[in-house]
Amino acid sequence: MTTVTDAAAFVRRTLVVLGLIALALLLWRVAYALLLAFGGVLLAVLLRGLARKVRDWTPLGIGWSMAVVGVALVGLIVLVAALLGPSVSAQLGELGDTLTQGMSKVRDYLQERPWGQELLSGMTQGAPQGSDLLRAAATVFASALDAVLALVLVIFAGIYFAAAPAVYSDGLVRLLPKGRQARAKEVLDATGKALWLWLLGQFVIMVIVGVLTAVGLLIVGVPLALALGFVAGLLEFIPFIGPIVAAVPIILVALTADPQTALYAALVILAIQQVESHLLAPIVQRKAVTLPPVLVLVGTIALTLLFGPIGAVFATPLLVVVLVVVEMLYMEDTLGQRVDVPGSRNA
C-alpha cells in the first residue's frame, strides 16, 4: 500500500513539474505580447493616478476626471508641439546629416593613424554590401514599423485598462483560491501605487535631465541642442543604458564643431549624470520603492539581451513589481518581517 501511495505522489509531483515547464514555455512564447500588455498597464497606472489627483482636487467623479486628464494631455501635447515642435522637428531632421558628418570626422581621425586604419579595415570587411544593404534597410524599416505598431497597441491597451481596471484586476484575483484573494488584492493595490510613484518620479527626472542637457549644450555651443536634449530626456527612462546611448549622438554632433566642443559636451553629460544620480534620483524617488543600482543594472542588461529594446524599456518598472511582490508575499508573509511597501497595510 505504501508503495502505491509513493508512486501516486511521485506521479503527481512529476505532472506538476511538467505543467510548470509547459507554463514557462508558453509564457516564453508570448513574452513579447506580455511586455506590451505591461506597457499598457504602465500607461493605465499613469492615467488613473492623474485622474485620482483631479478627483481629489475637484468635485468630479473618476470617470469625468479621466476625461479631463485625457483632454488635458492632448492639449498639452498640442501646446508643446506648437511652441517647440517646429524648432525641435527641424533639428531632428538635421540630426541625421549632422551625425553623418560627425562619423566622417571620426573616420578621418582614424585613417590618419596606423591603428585606426587597421580598425577601419576590420570593420569594412564585415560591412554589408550590395544586396546585404537592401536586406539591412528592409530590416530597419520592419523594426521601425514594429515599434510604431507596438506603441499603438500599448496606447490602446492603456486606455482600456485605465477605463475599467477592476474588470481586469478582479478577474486576475478570482483565479486564486478564495483564502488568498484578499491578500492578492492588497498586493495588486500596492504594486499599482509603487508603479505610480516610480512613474511620477521618473517623469520629473526625464524633464529635468532633458532641460539641463539642452541648456548645457547650448551654453557650450553644440549644434541641435534642443533636439539632443529632447532625445536625452526620453532615453533617461532607461537607466544606465539610456544615458550612454544618448551620449553617442551628442558627442558626434559636437565633433562637427570641433574636438574642444566635443570635450565640453562630454563634461556637460558627465556633470548632468552626476547630478541625476546623487541629487535628483534620491530626492525625487525617496517615496517610491528603492531599487538597488546593481539589481537595476543586471536586470536591464538581462532583459535587453532576452527581448531587445523593449526589454530595456520595461526592465526597471518590472523590477518594481517584482520587488513589491517579493517583499509582501515572501518577506512579510513567509519570513514575518515588516517592510514599508507603498500601498501595503504596513506603509
Contact in structure between 66 and 47 (CB atoms under 8 Å): yes
Domain that holds residue 64: 33-125+150-332
Measured distance between the N- and C-terminal CA atoms of the chain, rounded to whole angstroms = 52
pLDDT at res. 215:
93
- Say what the pLDDT of residue 33 is: 82
24, three cell numbers: 514557462
Q: What is the pLDDT of residue 91?
A: 62
**Is residue 211 assigned to a domain?**
yes
d(CA 232, CA 251): 12
- Please indicate whether residue 160 or residue 346 has the higher confidence score (pLDDT): 160
Q: What would the pLDDT profile of 299-334 be if each residue is shown by its tens digit?
A: 888 888 888 888 888 989 999 998 888 888 888 877
**pLDDT band at 260; cut points 50, 70, 90:** confident
CA distance 46 to 162: 9
Q: Residue 211's pLDDT is what?
A: 92
Q: Could you tell me which of 261, 242, 262, 259 has the C-alpha nearest to residue 251? A: 262
Q: 171 pLDDT exceeds 90?
A: no
Domain membership of residue 225 (yes or no) is yes
Quick one: pLDDT band at residue 132, thresholds 50, 70, 90? very low
User: What proportion of the chain, given as a percentage, has pLDDT over 70?
Assistant: 72
Q: Is residue 17 part of a domain?
A: no
Convert the pLDDT of each residue in 6-24 to its tens digit.
666 666 777 777 777 776 7
Q: How confident is the model at residue 32 (pLDDT cuts 50, 70, 90)?
A: confident
Nearest in space to 264 (alpha carbons), one of 212, 217, 229, 223: 217
- pLDDT for the residue numbered 125: 52
Q: Give the pLDDT of residue 227.
A: 82
pLDDT band (50, 70, 90) for residue 106: low
Q: Look at residue 113 and tell me if it is in a domain.
A: yes
- Within a domain: residue 19? no
Quote the pLDDT of residue 219.
92
Number of domains the chain is built from? 1
Residue 204 resides in a domain: yes
Which tops the pLDDT comparison, 180 or 94?
A: 180
Is residue 6, in this structure, part of any structural domain at all?
A: no
Domain contains 2: no
Does pLDDT of 136 surpass 50?
A: no
Residue 155 C-alpha cell reads as: 496606447
The torsion region of residue 221 among left (phi > 0), alpha (psi -120 to 50) and beta comes to left
3-class secondary structure per residue, the chain: CHHHHHHHHHHHHHHHHHHHHHHHHHHHHCHHHHHHHHHHHHHHHHHHHHHHHHHHHCCCCHHHHHHHHHHHHHHHHHHHHHHHHHHHHHHHHHHHHHHHHHHHHHHHHHHCCHHHHHHHHHHHHCCCCCHHHHHHHHHHHHHHHHHHHHHHHHHHHHHHHHHCHHHHHHHHHCCCCHHHHHHHHHHHHHHHHHHHHHHHHHHHHHHHHHHHHHHHHHHHCCCCHHHHHHHHHHHCCCCCHHHHHHHHHHHHHHHCCCHHHHHHHHHHHHHHHHHHHHHHHHHHCCCCCCCCHHHHHHHHHHHHHHHCHHHHHHHHHHHHHHHHHHHHHHHHCCCCCCCCCCCCCCC
Residue 118 has pLDDT above 90, yes or no: no
The model's pLDDT over 186-220, given as tens digits with 9 standing for 90+, comes to 888 889 888 998 898 888 899 999 999 999 999 99
